Amino acid sequence: MIKTSTFLVLLIALLPGAIPAQAAISQARVEEVVAHFESQTHLIDSLSCVFNQNAIPVLAVVGPEWVRYSMVRDLMETKALELAYVRFGPKVADFSIGPFQMKPSFVEALEIEMENSCLLSATAAYPVENPLIRRRIRIQRMKDPRWQYFYAFAFYSLSQNRFADALSEKETNHIAFIASAYNLGFTRPAADIEKWQQARVFPYGSDFRGTQESYSGVALRFYEALQERRGKVW
């Protein structure tokens, strides 16, 4: 997701030789993430049944963020940010967590959408009303791979309803739009998301002047790689 892109550019710039001449996503990185998805077949299949949703489009949408995560995960120290978020909320500390690079503000917005769903409201409910304790629980959930996948499926399902008027019948167009909403922010207007599909600012953000790709374009590359496994894994 965006907003940390400037920090990512600065962080990588400090590493000798860290930015390649061609800052596009290699197919090897795509295949590496797809291989991990294959190792999580049981979890993914169970969520696919719960949401009555083909897993491939969902995984294609979040796959690019895993690539970005793999590039910096060993360099990120988030403990202080976690504590700041729990105490003060997303206005003070809003940062990406886990392989799908979800932010607390994203999950909070997603939870508001889930409250209107009979299926999702009970699952995502909190046992307490205290906002500080809720934020602590939210962070714990976001660090749990099972919850990351749950949020990914919930996001895709809710986005299909939220942007029904903007989505065409073609599945690849669905993926490109919803992937852009995931990267830019699903609370943004559909017109902004439509434009963002062409923004070639991934993975280093708009401050980086080297060769990059659009997030939607990388998502479609994931879709193609996952489609090759269709019937074999999903």
Residue ranges per domain, the chain?
5-9+23-75+140-227
- pLDDT band of residue 92 (cuts 50, 70, 90) is confident
- Per-residue pLDDT tens over the stretch 108-157: 999 999 998 887 888 889 999 999 999 999 999 999 999 999 999 999 99
pLDDT (tens digit, 9 = 90+) per residue, 32-79? 999 999 999 999 999 999 999 999 999 999 999 999 888 766 455 567
- Average the pLDDT over 186-203 and give the result: 95
Give the relative orientation of helices 27-39 and 215-227 as an angle to the nearest 10 degrees.
60
pTM: 0.85
Average pLDDT of the chain to the nearest whole number: 86
